[in-house]
Structure 1
């Protein structure tokens, strides 16, 4: 039986982490690999090593190490939680780690309207210890993501993975989780 590699895609505050935690609690033999946790760890203990600008190579290295370790040393299903808004990054993740011979690859795209996201970040109480550089709040992150989203191919396509689920409203989460569990049981 193949393991699942569930990869969440979406802007900040779209519901990726909540979805991942809920799926993990219902999908036996699974774990969440969340890059926000890696960023918080680095900022708490290794701030001086943090790259000042450009790609966050330290955070990505930690994610790569944990992913490789879990692939080799466990039989767990993966729930990868990060924005994955750029197709190049998703392709790297899916092709480098989640080989289609070993994994059933599932993308869950959170296509939540911008006005809802703006309201969520405005009222956010999430810890900002995941930021680096000039960011001080999630409103700044969302503004950047919205602007970049218009310039890139952020929306995943069905050809990228074995399954693509699109969440346009967080009320759809439970039914999508049920479908993912059914895929795992095949």
Structure 2
């Protein structure tokens, strides 16, 4: 059986979590691994363990432990749901999955900023995921500043076995259908 990893890439409120949850519902034997859920858990129960500055090493350690367990001790397909905007980090993660026999699919959310800003304004999403930011508007501003600087770049063909780009909300169901078909067929 081919195992698949589906990795979302995009800014805050671009639809990654909603997409991942819908995909999980339609895919047999798939699990969503979402760093925002890990951050909320840590910020709720272990806030004192967070570093004041620098990388959120505890969040990454929790996520890595969950991924390693899923890879080594289950036969699940994995839906990695976080921004994955850093190309180096994305490549490292994709190499890890490839070395463990996974086929890879990237889903890049490239929605207009106006739509993302509307979503942020209407959002009721928990802010317990924050370590340093105070609003999702602040997160989006930082993400916009980072785009194209250093290793924060959009994915391109060849990074994974397959790349989908979603530029409009109407494309979501079609992309989910294509991915489910690939997984059920066992090939890309």
Give the 5 Å matches for 1:129-140: 129-133=128-132, 135-140=133-138
| Offset of residue 39 of structure 1 | 0.1
Task: Please name the residue that 2:62 is paired with.
Answer: 62
Task: Please name the residue that 2:46 is paired with.
Answer: 46
Please say if 1:90 is aligned against 2:82: no
Q: In 1, are the aligned partners of 2:8 and 2:81 still within 8 Å (CA)?
A: yes
**In 2, distance between residues paired with 1:85 and 1:53?**
20
The gaps in structure 1 that reach 5 residues or longer are none
**In 2, distance between residues paired with 1:118 and 1:86?**
22
| Offset of residue 101 of structure 1 | 5.9
Equivalent residue of 2:165, what SS?
strand
The gaps in structure 2 that reach 5 residues or longer are none
**TM-score (structure 1 length as normaliser):** 0.96
Q: Count residues with an aligned counterpart.
A: 184
Cα RMSD after superposing both structures? 1.1
Task: Please name the residue that 1:146 is paired with.
Answer: 144
**TM-score (structure 2 length as normaliser):** 0.95
| Offset of residue 103 of structure 1 | 0.7
